Amino acid sequence: TEATVTASTVENANSLKRKSDDIGWQYGKLVDPNNKDKVMCNFCKNVNSGGINRFKKHIAQVGGGVAKCKSCPNEAKLACLNWLEGTEKKKQDKVVRELGLRSDVNVSSGGQQEEDLTCAAVAFNAIENDEFKQMVEAIGQFGPGLKPPTQYELREPLLKAEYARTKSLLSDREAEKEKNGCSIMTDAWTDMKRRSIMNIVTHCAEGTSFIKSKDTSAISHTGEVIFELVDNAIEEVGAEHVVQVVTDNASNNMAAKALLLEKRPNIFWSSCATHTINLMLQGIGNIPRFKKIVDQAKGFTIFIYGHHRTLECMRSFTKKREIIRPGVTRFASQFLTLQSLLDKKDSLRKMVVDAKWENIKETSSKKGKEAYDTVLSVRFWNGVEICLKVFEPLVKLLRLVDGDVKPSMGFVYGELLKAKREIKEAFKNEELRYKEVIAIVEKKMRGRLDAPLHLTAYLLNPHYSYADSSIFDNADITTALITCVEQFYHGCDEDIHDEVVNIEFTKFQRKQGLFGKKMAKNCVNFDYNPG
């Protein structure tokens, strides 16, 4: 997402500026907190225009065109005079130093200048930023003598200009929010210092925008706390622009959902589809017959990457193609690991029977023998294939909901139904074999991905309803539509409800008016955005 510069960042920069000017603020104060140019002298009560630096000249009784303070004590006069003289000397020293630095620069085609460098703790990967490359090019085009911005220029005019530019980049998103609304999304995570952080962002058709980040380490993550954070974000964005709130499925979020529904009955609260599908994959992966295969694959991969000689051996047989290793939290990575192993099946089987493998000391260990047995096991590879057939439909859906290619709400329920069909087919439609897997999928989706909003989006997506007219006759789905209309238009005149359900929806169902146009009928294509 587009990085944003908050107003608080600008204020923090300003506070640093004020701290550096403490000597002046000991003897004066702002007339108007919003105008830093006018400073009143504590001694003579004279109001000086021109900022704190000019005010210090007033106290020190120096400088042309500056009113001299006749009431200040000698101590204040000397303090400001010393500060001004010190500042002037620093400026002169800086000019001399910079001239020396520039004169030391010797650009040649062959050599590299060696000198003592001070570290600014900038990460090495910063050199990969496009902005850094553009900056280097701009400096080159300018030629010698380019002066970098001062600290003041960075923290005042340049920072404010960047803040204004960034706000302008978000104008399309703001317009989209006002036109079609947006979703408020939360993301709780723990940083490297073990602090609990709650991020809140908005999402609309134009993209995602950051709102705020709050350190919640010192407070309990109760439903009331989460509700307050979300409700404040809704207030900040404007309740009239918020359609739904999206969070994961934790019990505290469900408690916050109930509180929000009570205060704002027209805003939907949806479970995160990515989180829910990951829970499905986790549950299926924990079924003993699948867990055994996953653990064997994980054990083999860990052994290979745990020793540099086995790793080099593997790379020589796979022509330097890596095995995708399983992640800690992303259960879809189990699928990727199995797929990666299956793609290299023949190479890996050749590897463990080759003399090069036998000559590696670690392969004679218990773990080495287990890795050998795993790769040569027909049962293991058959298990890998059935795991992939079961995982794949859900991984495809995960990619759909976790990507930014198009809004996925209209496809979640329909693709879940499709995934269930494909899982059953993987077990040749034998209920005894697929029953446990389907039970996990249905348990995780219940109340989360089959809510009235999902069913309504499924109904209003021509890809499904125009291809299968029986969907219009499904009582659960049409009831979901009515439920969504009542919630979305909560408190509105009942004539609006009637217009949506009995007039607009009927036109859609019968393909009348604009819905009968050829372009509308083309929306049966999966690649079209049903919105």
Q: Which residues lie below 8 Å from residue 142, measured CB to CB, with a gap of 6+?
A: none
For tokens 């087919």, the residue is 425
Task: Spell out the alpha helix ranges (H) of 191-247.
Answer: 223-237
- Coil, strand, or helix at residue 306? coil
* Number of neighbours of residue 58 by Cβ within 10 angstroms: 25
- Coil, strand, or helix at residue 313? helix
For the chain, report the end-to-end CA distance as a whole number of angstroms: 22
Helix/strand/coil (H/E/C) assignment for every residue in 406-420 = CCCHHHHHHHHHHHH
* Tens place of pLDDT per residue across the chain (531 aa): 333 444 444 444 444 344 444 688 889 998 888 888 889 999 999 998 888 888 999 999 998 888 999 999 999 999 999 999 998 898 888 888 878 877 777 666 544 555 555 677 888 888 888 888 888 888 989 988 888 898 999 999 999 999 999 889 899 999 999 999 999 999 888 888 889 999 999 999 888 899 999 999 988 889 999 999 999 999 999 999 999 999 988 889 999 999 999 999 999 999 999 999 999 999 999 999 999 999 999 999 999 999 999 999 999 999 999 997 655 446 678 888 999 999 999 999 999 999 999 999 999 999 999 999 999 999 999 999 999 999 999 999 999 998 776 778 999 999 999 999 999 999 999 999 999 999 999 999 999 999 999 999 999 999 999 999 999 999 999 999 999 999 999 999 989 999 999 999 999 999 999 888 888 777 788 878 787
Beta strands in 2-134 (DSSP E): 28-32, 35-41, 47-49
Residue 392 buriedness (CB in 10 A; 0-12 / 13-18 / 19+): middle
Residue 61 buriedness (CB in 10 A; 0-12 / 13-18 / 19+): middle
CA 199 – CA 213 distance, rounded (Å): 4
* Number of neighbours of residue 40 by Cβ within 10 angstroms: 15
CA 67 – CA 58 distance, rounded (Å): 6
| Polymer length of the chain | 531
Cβ 171 vs Cβ 211: under 8 Å: no
Cβ 173 vs Cβ 209: under 8 Å: yes
CA 408 – CA 242 distance, rounded (Å): 18
